[in-house]
Each structure stands twice: as structure tokens, then as C-alpha cells.
Amino acid sequence: MNADVHPKVAQVQAALHAGGVDVTVRQIDKATPTALAAAEYVGCEVGAIVKSLVFMADGEPILVLTSGAHSVDTGLLAGRIGAAAITRATPDGVLAATGQVIGGVAPVGHPSPVRTFLDVALRGYDEVWAAAGIAASLFPLSYADLLRVTGATEVEVN
């Protein structure tokens, strides 16, 4: 990667390669902080966009990788993962857990491991797209690679 690459994007690229995923992260010319904006930029269905959402499950951060077409039902998810309660993390909580800001949170490249859950609805796409540490970044990969590189637990989120 060249010198103009944001350090967060470089971290995500390195984590992907370390996990055996041979893709090139794209630092793009405009921010795509929402699933809809990312889908429009890429030219894919919104469901093929991976939303990386941070929640607090019984006081501990968790990362939920969900389809851009889905909302996370926190009550349902809590029951499925054995948590008493799940709430949205604050922006500061997201940054503390991932080292990244809302709108650009990647599935990998965090300062320390975050318990991760993967929406099985993403299996329906040959290729999914995720942010790479900043809102002006995207990369494609397969569901199988996303599952493997994140070590996520598969789950239905709604």
C-alpha cells in the first residue's frame, strides 16, 4: 500500500492478509458511512453490505456483522447468545472496542479480539463488502472468508 493509505486501512489490510484473505482494501474518494451509501457506491444490493455494529452484551463489547438489509433485534440476539441484555455501544465504546469510528468499523484490525457474531443472511451473497477502518474504505470478500478471518459465531440477528 502506498504512503497515502490511512493507518486504519493499512491495519485492516494487514489483518486480512494475516488471516489468509487475499483481497485489496480500497481507500475510496468519498465516505460511505451507511449501508445504503456503500451499496450505491459499489453498485450492489444493500443486503450485500456488511454492517459492523458494536453492542454491549452484559457489559462486554461484541461485534455483530450483519447484512445491510437487516436490523439487529437485540432481545432475540441476547437469547441466542446467552446474554441477559444487549444494548448499543456509545461512540466512545465503539472506538474503545475496535479502535475505529462508527461508519468505518471493519470486521478485523482491532487492537484486541472482540467477540464476533455473523448474520447468516450474508451467506446468500457470493460477495459481500465491508468497511476497512474508515468511512471512505471498502473491500470485497466471500462469506466463507469473512467467517474464517473473524472467527465469528454464526447467528440469526432478526
Give the mean model confidence (pLDDT) for residues 84-99.
97
57 or 158, higher pLDDT: 57
- What pLDDT, in 10s, does the model give residues 106-135? 999 999 999 999 999 999 999 999 999 999
Coil, helix or strand at residue 10: helix
- As a CATH number, domain 7-155 is 3.90.960.10
C-alpha radius of gyration, the chain, whole number: 14
Task: Quote the CA–CA distance of 114 and 102 in Å, as a whole number.
Answer: 15
Q: Where are the domains of the chain?
A: 7-155
Evaluate if residue 2 carries a pLDDT over 60.
Answer: no
Task: Let me know the angle formed at the C-alpha of 107 by 105 and 131, rounded to the nearest 5 degrees.
Answer: 50
Percent of the chain with pLDDT over 90: 96
pLDDT for residue 10: 96
Order the strands of the 153-155 sheet from edge to edge: 86-88, 50-57, 60-67, 115-119, 153-155
pLDDT for residue 4: 85
Task: Quote the CA–CA distance of 49 and 69 in Å, as a whole number.
Answer: 8
- What pLDDT, in 10s, does the model give residues 57-91? 999 999 999 999 999 999 999 999 999 999 999 99
* All residues at 6 or more sequence positions from 100 whose CB lies less than 8 Å from its CB, including other chains: 8, 94, 106, 109, 110, 133, 134
- What pLDDT, in 10s, does the model give residues 22-65? 999 999 999 999 999 999 999 999 999 999 999 999 999 999 99
